[in-house]
Amino acid sequence: MATFVRVVDAGSLSKAARAMHVSPAAVSRQMSMLETELGAGLLVRTTRRVTVTEEGRRFYAAAERTVRDVEDARLAVRPDRAMAGPLTVSMPTALGLSRLDVSLTALVAKHPGLRVDLRLEDHPVDLVAEGVDVAVRAGLPPPDTTSLVAYPLAESERVVVAAPAYLRRRGEPEALGELTYHDALVHLHAGVGVGVWTLQRAGETTTVDVRGPLRTNALLALRNAAVAGLGLALLPRFLVADDLHRRRLRVVPLGGWQPPSQSIYALVRVDAKARARVVAFLDHARRELDPRRASGRPSA
């Protein structure tokens, strides 16, 4: 089973064989024996690479978890190696590139046996089926399931921003009604209400329909367009902190109306929540996402 996982991860029998320091023929024999035992074809072999069958994909999801569990069982009798092993983390692209990707190097450097697979993606993932240990998410509520545990990490402040050049050209909106006459950069998120901004002031909440020249599902693209002077954008403060500091962008006051903050949380598989490397990552993420901690890095 461990050999099968190695083959799928490597994409070829020969690469897996080299990583395991055995011959390709030995790996091939193990795969044939496994397929015979299961009564199903797991791999389609060619001279250059292997392709995983539908049965193979289903078996891989379970096999990968089993191999990890076996490794964790071995580590349990060696407390000095508790931080060793693989850790698969999924997080939104903008959050990863602006706050967490580089900082993870410090965590890896502190624990040389830790192996992090970092997936930057802006769509929901099936942690159980895809073997993801931790998924960092913002905005959307945690799913209602007993197979996952949600841990709060931080509250993310959001702001409406624009480039000084845009505000000089179009004027600065001082009231909500003026947003109708401005170009907005719209986030195509997974939820409802695309083209609708929710704003709050003194306990009151309202919504405003906005439109403009650009709509995209990538927050980094919205940030870049805002810096270029294309329009107003509603973005997380962590993404534009450096731009605000360097005055490439300005917060638009809107008469005191501002978007509500979003919760950032981590989803963890129930079977992985007690692993030392998962707990260490959660502690690390909370420190890095502390709003009192400046990013100190460009957002793009």
What is the reported pLDDT for 47?
A: 63
Pick the more confident residue, 170 or 46. Answer: 170
Reduce the DSSP state of residue 10 to 3 states and report it: helix
Backbone angles phi, psi at 30, to 5 degrees: -65, -40
**What integer pLDDT is reported at residue 75 of this predicted model?**
64
The Cα 282–Cα 278 span in angstroms is: 6
- What residue spans define the domains of the chain? 1-77, 81-154+261-300, 158-260
Same fold, 81-154+261-300 and 158-260: yes
Q: Are 164 and 228 in contact (CB under 8 A)?
A: no
CATH of 1-77, one of 3.40.190.10, 1.20.58.340, 3.30.950.10, 1.10.10.10: 1.10.10.10
pLDDT per residue over 238-291, tens digit each?
A: 899 999 999 999 999 898 999 999 999 999 988 788 888 899 999 999 988 887
Residue type, 30: Q
pTM: predicted TM-score of the whole model, two decimal places: 0.69
* Domain range 158-260, CATH class: alpha beta
Please determine, for residue 167, whether its predicted confidence score (pLDDT) is greater than 80. Answer: yes
Contacts of residue 30, defined as CB under 8 A and 6 or more positions apart, other chains included, come to 3, 4
Q: Which of 98-102, 105-109, 163-167, 199-203 has the lowest mean pLDDT?
A: 98-102
pLDDT of residue 91: 92
Place domain 81-154+261-300 in its CATH homologous superfamily. Answer: Periplasmic binding protein-like II (3.40.190.10)
Distances (CA, A) of 261 to 45, 240, 253, 258: 51, 15, 16, 9
Distance (Å) of CA 81 to CA 20, 106, 134:
21, 18, 20
pLDDT of residue 299: 36
What band does 78 get if pLDDT is binned at 50, 70 and 90?
A: low
Comparing C-alpha atoms, which of 253, 260, 234 is closest to residue 176? Answer: 253
Residue pair 240/185 in contact (Cβ under 8 Å)? The answer is no
C-alpha dist (Å) from residue 100 to 9, 85, 120: 25, 20, 11
* Contacts for 24-33: CB closer than 8 Å, 24+ residues apart: 27/3, 30/3, 30/4, 31/3, 31/4, 31/7
Cα–Cα distance, 91 to 156 (Å, whole number): 15
Burial class (CB in 10 A: 0-12, 13-18, 19+), 171: exposed
Q: How far apart are CA 271 and CA 292, in angstroms?
A: 32
Question: What is the per-residue pLDDT across 213-226, written as a single tens digit (0 to 9) for each?
Answer: 999 989 999 999 99
Q: What is the mean pLDDT of residues 196-202?
A: 92
Q: CA 119 to CA 101: how far, in whole Å?
A: 10
Handedness of CA 115, 121, 126, 130 (dihedral sign): negative
